[in-house]
Structure 1
Amino acid sequence: MSVTETVSFWPHIMQPDSGEASSVPSLQDVIEVYNRVCTAVWDAGSHRSQELRQIKERQAENMEGKQEQDDSCERDHLELDDLPEPVKLHILSFLDVKSVCRLAAASQDWRILGNDNILWRKMLERDGPSWSAIGHRGGTDLGKDDHKWRYLQCCPEAQGHKEASSIGSQLRGYLRSLLPKTLPMIAMFGPGLNTSTSQIVQAIIVGKEGVFKTNMQTTMWQTKLPRRGGGGGLAIKFRNKQDFFLITLYSGTRSEREGQSSANKLLVPKTPTSADAEPEYELKRTFRRLCSEVAGFIFVVDASQGTDHVESGLAELQAMTDQRWTPDTTPVLVLSCVPGEGQGEGETRLPCIKVMEALQLGSMSRPWQVQNAVAGSLQDVDTGVDWLMNNIQGK
């Protein structure tokens, strides 16, 4: 009996049928009604509980189905973090440096991947050959096996940003304005002066409008060159505001230079320490005073002649920049030239990064820069000379 039926049964007990005398219900009747009510309430509660339980079971089944569907979706769509590390590193190798650095800042895991040495070696091999200039202010060995450090130290964009934003650069600029103006002397030498790129000297002397102009009114500096002759000098005005003395030093003919014979005008053989020792050379005494007085060096190589040509001038470069007679603050500009003007147009240019490696510039403890240039037209020569003058005046 339901609760409704039990309640309707109670008035029948209290109100007898018509014609019967009104009387108080007996105790047995009351107990019977009470039992009916309790039973009805219990049944109703049990039924309701069963309904609620069934509702919860259906909800749980729906949630499990939804979770299974979500899991299925996740399995069908992998996220970047789900990929194995070798795949992530392969993806990073296609990104530019800014993107790699930004991704490395996302989490600790990506920071570890973003500092991977093999990754930076691949990016250096990928981007290095396209750099038209590579420079470093010295003081750090770039030859060590830290490819991220080498990349950031050699990348022209990173170097330009660091130099422009550094307090030291701003301070040097202010100090330069206070110092008295002196005419620096720049020594130009290198194996490129004995090949078709030697036309760079004549091009500078002839001049280029707004860039180089021979200054005949400036008193010439008397160089202490040997009587046999090792070169000559001329006063040059750069960008109509800076004067410097350009001293050209020729080591000899190409065969003399490559053979390092006694006819070399710059070098003299060292006394060998043993019979099996590799031949070594040092600067002749007559040029040592010159090196102690020059403000900067321009080392010319012919980038169309390949690595062997560049390496042939390594002994001269090391001898001229020996710290025994050349201060370690004296900057070196390496002009990686191609002839131009219809010569060597089909030649492949040796990348700046290969010139840097051939000349072992990474271990040089002085400011240096390798700059691509065209000897005949002086294209980009002014960019390198501008770097050289800034470093000379900032010492």
Structure 2
Amino acid sequence: MSEKGQSDEYVVIRSLRQFREKYFNARKNVNDQAHAAEVTSEDAPPGFLDCLPVDLQFLIMTLLSPVDLCRLGATSSYWRAMVRDPLLWRYFLVRDMPKWPSINHVTMPRLDALHTPLCVGEKGMEEPGHDFMTDYLKGYPACRHQWFPQRPPYRVVTFLQSLVATTTEPRYAMFGPGMEQLDVSMVTRLMNTPDVLPVAGIPQRQINGIGSGISYMYKNQQKFNILTLYSTNRAERERARMEQQSVSNKLFILEGTDQSGHPHFSPTAQVQEVCQAVDGFIYVANAEPGRGDEGEVEGAQIQALVDPALGSSSRPLLVLSCVSREEPDQIRTTSSGSTRTPCVDMAQRLCLPMLPNPWMVQDTVADSLSGVLDGISWLLGCSGLRL
């Protein structure tokens, strides 16, 4: 275990130990003043698990799932307080959040918690008033659905609307370096993997200089259209990929820098026309290690495309955090280094929390298209489609 991990564990154990001492001292004082016949079942002698050393109790809690932890907290007042320790859940958040396969604007608004050390002084550690337990349960994949807004009841009007055949389909603009820099082309895989997303045709709606895009069918339920925006021509993209160099992005015009010194871009006229015509955006990010040095530029270009002046800020942004291939299980479990940029780091790298739009980052593999359907499902749902 790393030195930082050991330090974080020490801080949590110290916090739990302080609570345990206060709890049992207060309990002893109450029991000394009460008659034995008046002791309630809540004040019964502590059980075997209660008497274990705090470091063993902490070890047990680290091996439990969040659901089992909550069940443990329901067994007694002692464990109810123990499992709500703010540092305990902050520790879990720092430990587990990089492993989650997706994150969005609803499930984890406090991204900065991962990048603040636990050991920052007694007051800073506990951060009274912030509920890290709620933060964790919001983002934990098995629990997060409980935090999504409830669907409105299925009314008669909804039924009548479903009887009216619609001739249009949602249209999304797809762009980003993950389409161009990886050894496996996600666009090619999308067009040639009918068992994941079958191609449903090429619509007649044209955008000058861009085309009409390609329509796909999601689980035989809903057609949607993707307009692919490349940064430059194919020859330049291929040369840059082979040399692992960046290309001059012809989708944007660099206008200068803002007051903070960050680059400021504006889309070209053709791209602005696309932004005004689409229902949302798909950004394919390169999640392979060592490719995070252009996050400031990427974030600025995303902000340029979702500019409210070009369309509603309610339009969703799906970020496919993409690697070429999935690492074999044996390599993944034995390797000490990360084989992809975690979703939470990708969200922070692209400055997504600053956007007014709903957004989601989804782990994706270009070769197998793993994760794509989950992302598309979220995207269509944000577009108001009932699947």
Q: TM-score, normalised by structure 1?
A: 0.64
Contact kept? 1:220, 1:234, Cα under 8 Å? no
Aligned to 1:142: 110
Report the AA paired with residue 227 of structure 2: I
1 or 2, which has the higher helix percentage?
1
- Structure 2 CA distance for partners of 1:279 and 1:390, relative to 1, 3 Å: closer
Alignment match of 2:70 (pick from 101, 112, 116): 101
- Paired residue for 2:178? 192
Q: Could you list the per-position Cα deviations for residues 74-108 of structure 1 after superposition, in whole angstroms to 9, with x for gaps in the alignment?
A: xx987555678787656534432112223344556
Alpha carbons of 1:279 and 1:370: their partners in 2 closer, same or farther (altered >3 Å)? closer
**Correspondence list, 1:256-295, <5 A:** 263-272=248-257, 277-295=261-279
Residue 326 of structure 1: which of 308, 311, 322 is its match?
311
Task: Report sequence identity in percent.
Answer: 30
Query: 1:114 maps to what in 2?
Result: 83
Can you give the 5+ residue segments of structure 2 that lack an aligned partner in the other structure? 1-35, 37-44, 114-129, 333-337
Q: Distance in 2 between matches of 1:351 and 1:89?
A: 26
The aligned counterpart of 1:302 is 286
1:378 is aligned, of 369, 377, 383, to: 369
Q: Which residue type is aligned with residue 304 of structure 1?
A: E
Answer whether contact 1:197 1:302 (CA < 8 A) is retained. no
Q: Which has the larger radius of gyration?
A: 1
Separation of aligned partners in 2, 1:111 and 1:203: 50
Deviations along 1:171-224, one digit per CA (max 9) or x if unpaired, are: 7x9577367533111111111022125611011122423x322333x5332124
SS in 2 for 1:393: coil
Distance between the aligned counterparts of 1:177 and 1:85, measured in 2? 58
The 1-side partners of 2:153 and 2:288 are apart by 35
Letter in 1 for 2:273: R
CA separation of 1:174 and 1:310: change in aligned 2, threshold 3 A: farther
Letter in 2 for 1:201: V
Contact 2:231–2:250 (Cα < 8 Å) also in 1: yes
> Kindly tell me: are residues 392 and 197 of structure 1, through their superposed partners in 2, closer, same or farther at Cα, counting changes over 3 Å?
farther
Q: How far apart, in 2, do the equivalents of 1:118 and 1:307 lie? A: 32
Change (3 A) 1:142 1:321: farther
Query: C-alpha displacement at 1:243, in angstroms?
Result: 1.8
Figure out how many residues of one structure are paired with residues of the other and give that number.
309
Return the offset for 1:330: 1.1
Helix, strand or coil: the match of 2:263?
A: coil
8 Å contact 2:303–2:355 — kept in the other structure?
Answer: no
Please tell me the residue identity of whatever aligns with 2:110: L
8 Å contact 1:307–1:358 — kept in the other structure? no
Q: Cα gap change, 1:213/1:325 in structure 2, threshold over 3 Å: closer, same or farther? A: same
Deviation track 1:33-82 (CA, whole Å, cap 9, x = no partner) reads xxxxxxxxxxxxxxxxxxxxxxxxxxxxxxxxxx9xxxxxxxx9875556
| Conservation of the 8 A alpha-carbon contact between 1:134 and 1:370 | yes
Residue of structure 2 aligned with 1:92, choices 61, 65, 75: 61
1:166 aligns with 2:150: yes
Distance 1:77 1:238 in 2: 55
Identify the residue that residue 99 of structure 2 maps to in structure 1.
130
Contact 1:133–1:372 (Cα < 8 Å) also in 2 = yes
Could you tell me which residue of structure 2 aligns to residue 208 of structure 1?
194
Please say if residues 206 and 212 of structure 2, whose CA atoms lie closer than 8 Å, have aligned partners that are also in contact: no
Write the distance in 1 (CA, Å) between the matches of 2:289 and 2:216.
Answer: 29
Aligned equivalents of 1:170 and 1:127: distance in 2? 37
